[in-house]
Amino acid sequence: MKSIRLLAFACAASAHVPYSQYVLTPKSRTLRPASVYSINGTVQDAQSLVGGNANAVFVGQSAVTYDFGKNVGGLVSFNVSEVTTSGAYIGISFTESSIWINPEGCDATADAGIDAALWWQVSSGSSYTAQKQFQRGGFRYLNVYHNTTGNVTLSDLTVYYTAIPHYSEEQLAQGIQTGYFHCEDEQINRIWYAGAYTNELCTIDPTTGNSLIYLGVVNSSSVVTTPLPWYSNTTISNGSAVLVDGAKRDRLVWPGDILISQPGIFVSSYDMEMLRDSLDSLLVLQNASGALPYAGRPFGNETYLRQNWNTFKSALNFSLSFIDDSGMANVTTPADWLRFGMGGHNIEANAILYFVLNLGTNLANLLGDASMFVQSWPALAEGIKSAANNQLWDPKLNLYRDNDTQPLTDLHPQDGNAWAIISNLTLNSERARNISEALQARWGPYGAPAPEAGETVSPFVSGFELQAHYRAGRPAAAVNLTKLMWGFMLDDPRMTNSTFIEGYSTNGDLHYAPYANDPRISHAHGWATGPTSTLTFYGAGLQVTSAAGKTWLIEPQLGGLSNIEAGFQTNLGSFSTQTTALQGGGLNVTFSTPRNTSGTLRLTYSGTLASLTVTNLEAGSSMTSQKMAKRQMQSDEAGTKVVTLSDLPGGNYTVVLRTVD
Ligand SMILES: *[C@@H]1O[C@H](CO)[C@@H](O)[C@H](O)[C@H]1NC(C)=O
Ligand SMILES: *[C@@H]1O[C@H](CO)[C@@H](O)[C@H](O)[C@H]1NC(C)=O
Ligand SMILES: *[C@@H]1O[C@H](CO)[C@@H](O)[C@H](O)[C@H]1NC(C)=O
Ligand SMILES: *[C@@H]1O[C@H](CO)[C@@H](O)[C@H](O)[C@H]1NC(C)=O
Ligand SMILES: *[C@@H]1O[C@H](CO)[C@@H](O)[C@H](O)[C@H]1NC(C)=O
Ligand SMILES: *[C@@H]1O[C@H](CO)[C@@H](O)[C@H](O)[C@H]1NC(C)=O
Ligand SMILES: *[C@@H]1O[C@H](CO)[C@@H](O)[C@H](O)[C@H]1NC(C)=O
Ligand SMILES: *[C@@H]1O[C@H](CO)[C@@H](O)[C@H](O)[C@H]1NC(C)=O
Ligand SMILES: *[C@@H]1O[C@H](CO)[C@@H](O)[C@H](O)[C@H]1NC(C)=O
Ligand SMILES: *[C@@H]1O[C@H](CO)[C@@H](O)[C@H](O)[C@H]1NC(C)=O
Ligand SMILES: *[C@@H]1O[C@H](CO)[C@@H](O)[C@H](O)[C@H]1NC(C)=O
Ligand SMILES: *[C@@H]1O[C@H](CO)[C@@H](O)[C@H](O)[C@H]1NC(C)=O
């Protein structure tokens, strides 16, 4: 408990950030319904349970659906002051989407059927609270049923909010977020904060993980006629909190999901101890072959990296054992993100392997590991890149094919093409641009398709597509896809207006091709929160390039927006940027980075550079274009003009770049 309190104060001290009006995190753990959604039968004063603790009278068989206004998670409680007929029952059920509100029970966590309601036999003058294993991690709608004759008078219907369990009530009251984002587009602002909130709902008490009771027992082909019991009481990691894939389900640590949710948490609440406990729960699973369920970016901490370096190397050794004489890895295990056809010389797997080899080389340099094994990595990476560009590139569509299995497939996956850009496996930057354009040309009315998973729109893989558009120098495509998909996921009335869904169909149905049971789909999935980190890292252009931001890159890309602000904190201090498009052409960038750090400013522009002024507000110095000539490098990459200033010491800067057409 003591260490939790200490952490609590360390975070609380730094929690004053602007734009807190967008934050969805509750200010208190005790939640009450926001409104009455519907009433079935006769319930007097149903409204009195909204925001207060007056009485509602359930007259005979009746029910009320309450709306919390946003997705929440926790343990339900209520008081019963009067029961007119003995043997009365009150039931409670939960749904994330309004379309699964049901007189029989909840939405689903299993492959078939729906989850049972919780039932209590009630008597006058008593209080009821769900047992710990019946905490429901995600729901916006809560149904209260009375299924007996006579009247039941109920009050004080509350939910004890159980997400982010390692923050104190005081911290919630003050605000737990250490990062912020703002631009002139209100929908994009709400998307950023909904992503942050989704990841919070996915941060749970590690003793309340999925119990997986129906795995392999109830599947979509089983006929399930009665609602199924459910509970969450498996311990899935050490520590006081853990990051799982989804709030309702699976409530398990999945490595792929963390690739999106971890950077989202980094930019919004910097909850790094929790992330370390989550990663550790994967690292301890490494088996003798080196196979590991994780590979990712080390945002935090060189000590931690050093401790786990051998684990990383033996995992990479395992992956490299799949490279054959084609130069590419031949994938023989189908498990991925539930996409189909995951085998052979698959472009996604090879792009990720290429990425990890280059990342590994950088990390080895950082740690001073010059072993033979490490030295073999650049050539292996080059081999993957050249084979993928020779064997998998389809010049007719400007996309990579899924694999080179004969006869050649017509499937050009979203995952592999996005990852080819992210990993810089593309032959050149022109090819990256072409892929970005080809991916955009496929967008439908509800978003970017992932044909490798059927008729699916994947908010997970589309999170990588957002990064790809930014990296290809097409930020407007990233901004437009953010609004098209995440705007839909936020504002469609079937959604929660607060958290992001796991997957849906290209026709906008809330059906996810890998599942037969639609009520099972999670509406709060960390892997769907891509915009939160991409808007900060690429839109605001605020990136850390080594542990905790000892070095940084400032590279804003407005993408059609006229103003973007963002900030976050690490244990080195505060980082922030504010970028405004100048009338007449150019950018005004102010940024702040901590003392004892250093970094690079990189600005892309069109037209002709008219002037560049860099003011370091502490040093009181102002440099004009000529004086900076020595530190400045201008280049022209595929028609994009770039100014780069490197080796800038941490500090407060204003940079004004003016252009003329
Ligand atoms: C209303 O309640 C009755 C009896 O409990 C049930 O049969 C019916 O399906 C319910 N209707 C709705 C819309 O929930
Ligand atoms: C009400 O629900 C409880 C719990 O499921 C059940 O035991 C009871 O038989 C039901 N009563 C009626 C009248 O349906
Ligand atoms: C239940 O409440 C209704 C409406 O207030 C009332 O008419 C009825 O008499 C009550 N029944 C009992 C058993 O108290
Ligand atoms: C989890 O809860 C279920 C249902 O109450 C119970 O049967 C089971 O023993 C619990 N498991 C653990 C590990 O507590
Ligand atoms: C870095 O990681 C180490 C080992 O896991 C831990 O003891 C230390 O507290 C971490 N440092 C920071 C600044 O988080
Ligand atoms: C190659 O890709 C296609 C399309 O995704 C897929 O049907 C096929 O199974 C893949 N080949 C292997 C060996 O997985
Ligand atoms: C990949 O490996 C499998 C299993 O060893 C083998 O059957 C298959 O032919 C290989 N695929 C390629 C493209 O070499
Ligand atoms: C991507 O690879 C090219 C070589 O193909 C290299 O010139 C470029 O610097 C790389 N870009 C990044 C961001 O690593
Ligand atoms: C993005 O959307 C804006 C507004 O609809 C449009 O003007 C612009 O051309 C789009 N750009 C791209 C790259 O999609
Ligand atoms: C969605 O939530 C926002 C607050 O984040 C609120 O302003 C808006 O009214 C809500 N929209 C609907 C349709 O409830
Ligand atoms: C640039 O932005 C800063 C901060 O908003 C402001 O103080 C300054 O006046 C701006 N400069 C120009 C030339 O717009
Ligand atoms: C930047 O400005 C802030 C606020 O004025 C100040 O607290 C901070 O020390 C400055 N940073 C540096 C590195 O000088």
Burial category of 61 from C-beta neighbours within 10 Å (exposed 0-12, middle 13-18, buried 19 and up): middle
C-alpha 200: how far from its chain's center? Answer: 10
Q: What is the dotted CATH code of the domain comprising 540-660?
A: 2.60.420.10
Determine the average pLDDT of the residues in 97-125.
Answer: 95
CB of 190 sitting under 6 A from ligand 10: yes
The binding-site residues of ligand 6, defined as CB within 6 angstroms of any ligand atom, are 341, 343-344, 402-403, 405, 409, 411, 452
What residues contact 330, with CB distance under 8 A and at least 6 apart? Answer: 322, 323, 324, 343, 344, 345
Model confidence band, residue 9 (pLDDT cutoffs 50, 70, 90): very low
Q: From CA 258, how far away is CA 344, in angstroms rounded?
A: 25
Residue-wise pLDDT tens digits, 349-363: 999 999 999 999 999
Q: What is the pLDDT of residue 300?
A: 61
CB of 231 sitting under 6 A from ligand 4: yes
pLDDT at 105 over 90: yes
pLDDT at 401 over 90: yes
CB of 480 sitting under 6 A from ligand 9: yes
pLDDT at 1 over 60: no
Model confidence band, residue 295 (pLDDT cutoffs 50, 70, 90): very low
211 Cα–ligand 4 center, Å: 8
Q: From CA 403, how far away is CA 345, in angstroms rounded?
A: 5
Model confidence band, residue 419 (pLDDT cutoffs 50, 70, 90): very high
Residue-wise pLDDT tens digits, 539-592: 999 999 988 899 999 999 999 999 999 999 999 999 999 999 999 999 999 999
CB of 20 sitting under 6 A from ligand 4: no
pLDDT at 345 over 70: yes
32-161 fold:
Jelly Rolls (2.60.120)
Domain boundaries, the chain: 32-161, 322-428, 540-660
Model confidence band, residue 94 (pLDDT cutoffs 50, 70, 90): very high
Ligand nearest to the CA of 650: 12
Determine the average pLDDT of the residues in 243-251.
Answer: 95
The binding-site residues of ligand 1, defined as CB within 6 angstroms of any ligand atom, are 40-41, 61, 63, 103
Strand runs (DSSP E) across 462-585, as ranges? Answer: 504-505, 542-544, 551-554, 563-570, 573-581
178 Cα–ligand 5 center, Å: 19
Ligand nearest to the CA of 58: 3
Q: What is the pLDDT of residue 280?
A: 86
pLDDT at 528 over 60: yes
pLDDT at 218 over 90: no
Q: What is the pLDDT of residue 298?
A: 41
User: Candidates 323, 332, 346, 401: which one to mutate for ligand 7, based on the most atoms within 8 Å of Cβ?
Assistant: 332
Determine the average pLDDT of the residues in 95-122.
Answer: 95
Closest Cα to atom 10 of ligand 2: 147
Return the minimum-mean-pLDDT range out of 27-36, 435-444, 608-617: 608-617
Taking the CA of residue 145 as reference, the ligand 1 atom at the shortest distance is: 5
Higher local confidence (pLDDT), 282 or 149: 149
User: Candidates 71, 98, 494, 497: which one to mutate for ligand 10, based on the most atoms within 8 Å of Cβ?
Assistant: 497
Q: What is the mean pLDDT of the chain?
A: 91
User: Candidates 184, 434, 469, 480: which one to mutate for ligand 9, based on the most atoms within 8 Å of Cβ?
Assistant: 480
68 Cα–ligand 2 center, Å: 26
Q: What is the pLDDT of residue 287?
A: 73
CB of 477 sitting under 6 A from ligand 9: yes
Determine the average pLDDT of the residues in 198-223.
Answer: 84
Backbone phi, psi, residue 275, to 5°:
-65, -40
Taking the CA of residue 324 as reference, the ligand 7 atom at the shortest distance is: 14
Determine the average pLDDT of the residues in 81-102.
Answer: 97
Residue-wise pLDDT tens digits, 136-178: 999 999 999 999 999 999 999 999 999 999 999 999 999 999 9
CB of 646 sitting under 6 A from ligand 5: no
